[in-house]
Structure 1
Amino acid sequence: MNGNTERQFATNVYYDRTFDCDAAKILPGEFYYTGQDMLIVTVLGSCVAACIRDRVTGLGGMNHFMLPDGGDPASPVSASMRYGTFAMEVLINELLKAGARRENLEAKVFGGGAVLRGFTAMNVGERNAAFVMNYLKTEQIRVVAEDLNDIYPRKVYFFPRTGKVLVKKLMQTQNDTVAKRELDYASRLKVEPVAGEIDLF
């Protein structure tokens, strides 16, 4: 494992029969962007996904990240916050490099559910949700839809070309796989360094 876990480009691309289009499935620590008419899908528990697109061109993508446990969540320079910042910057920079214009970017954000009980003193899902909203506000990227917090995992389907998002809340009994995946991801975050700085342009 290396520090690149935080910005891994999703490689699980398949044909989705339900929606009759190509789809990319992203896991914790991954992101995906496209200019094609396709679907990006993920399942979230305590993690957060930001769906960001250029509303003019339809170029868009999604990330899936978690702030690792520890650090002062109020500190803008805490190691914990650097993970979230890095995940956001990677996606935004890739969109800009692919031709998106900063002034046309809009976001829809999801996740931050209280599904990892006892994971931290302050619920990690709430921290993730607060972080992504504050980050987008600071970067002046308009949030046009959100479904954050609550107690349920969510399956999110994002169609970047149109901006449409479908969210399915999963019942607690379907929660084990999501919780295990996120706990594994969280344990990797604790031992891996955050990669170098990224400049937004």
Structure 2
Amino acid sequence: MQTDGPLSKVYFDPYFEMEAVKILPGEFYVTQQNLLLVTVLGSCVAACIRDKSLGLGGITHFMLPFEQNNIELIDSSIRYGSHALEVLINELLKLGASRENLEAKVFGGGDVLSAEGSHIIGERNAAFLLNYLEAENITLVSQSLLGSYPQKVYFFPSSGRVLVKKLKRLNNNTIFDREALYFEKLLDVQVAGNIELFG
């Protein structure tokens, strides 16, 4: 999902009494409108980045491909994570954001998947995200990373406000199913090996 559309995932949130957009694994959204951006994170991470002076911002929700101690796959993982963040930042810049005014709040990276080796996925995602922001000189305002619970993130780009709810009890397996499916897709991406994400 991209800048202010398509709006198929826009819904009215009765609690906050405003329009909201649901962001799924592998998606991003950037807006200048007064919208609420919502995502649920397990092992994935999300970066909420905004221009603090203009009140425009966006969110990206991603997971690094699994490394399997293979140099080529590690390179693919780095390129994938960088691509997810670069797309978000470039969309913000297209709307008039200034790189020096960008600030970030980051979330997720929990130890919640049951797949083999998944205990390190969240840690890798979180470490990559923090290192990327530092390398790009984007101010980190706050973070809620790692832990054993999924997180539901409510991001208000116009004000920069973020609310986080730790999901200690889930009525269904939706988040796990979504991340497991996304995880499988990432494994398929790696098999291609020489895929160019920056095109």
Quick check: TM above 0.5? yes
Work out the CA distance in 2 between the residues paired with 1:151 and 1:62.
22
Q: 1:141 to 1:78 in 2, by over 3 A?
A: same
After the TM superposition, which of the residue ranges 105-114 and 12-21 deviates more from structure 2? Answer: 12-21
Work out the CA distance in 2 between the residues paired with 1:119 and 1:81.
21
**One of 58, 78, 87 as aligned partner of 1:81:** 78
RMSD: 2.2
Partners of 2:27 and 2:61 within 8 A in 1:
yes
Amino acid at match of 1:177: T
Q: 1:80 to 1:164 in 2, by over 3 A?
A: same
Work out the CA distance in 1 between the residues paired with 2:104 and 2:48.
5
Work out the CA distance in 1 between the residues paired with 2:87 and 2:128.
16
Work out the CA distance in 2 between the residues paired with 1:175 and 1:124.
22
Work out the CA distance in 1 between the residues paired with 2:72 and 2:163.
34
Partners of 1:154 and 1:168 within 8 A in 2:
yes
Q: Does 1:127 align with 2:128?
A: no
Q: Does 1:197 align with 2:194?
A: no
Instruction: Tell me the CA shift for residue 119 of structure 1.
Output: 3.4
Work out the CA distance in 2 between the residues paired with 1:174 and 1:107.
31
Q: Does 1:62 align with 2:59?
A: yes
Q: Does 1:183 align with 2:184?
A: no
What are the ranges of 5 or more consecutive residues in structure 1 without an aligned counterpart? 1-7
- Indicate the percent of aligned positions where both proteins have the same amino acid: 54
Work out the CA distance in 2 between the residues paired with 1:94 and 1:23.
19
Match of 1:26 in 2: 23
Normalising by the residue count of structure 2, what TM-score does the alignment of the two structures yield? Answer: 0.88
Instruction: Tell me the CA shift for residue 80 of structure 1.
Output: 1.2
Partners of 2:57 and 2:158 within 8 A in 1:
yes
Instruction: Tell me the CA shift for residue 22 of structure 1.
Output: 1.0
Q: 1:97 to 1:77 in 2, by over 3 A?
A: farther
Q: Does 1:95 align with 2:96?
A: no
Instruction: Tell me the CA shift for residue 191 of structure 1.
Output: 1.7
Match of 1:43 in 2: 40
Work out the CA distance in 1 between the residues paired with 2:9 and 2:176.
20
Match of 1:5 in 2: none
Match of 1:142 in 2: 139
Aligned length, in residue pairs: 191
Amino acid at match of 2:22: K
- For residues 104-115 of structure 1, the aligned pairs below 5 Å read 104-115=101-112
Partners of 1:71 and 1:80 within 8 A in 2:
no
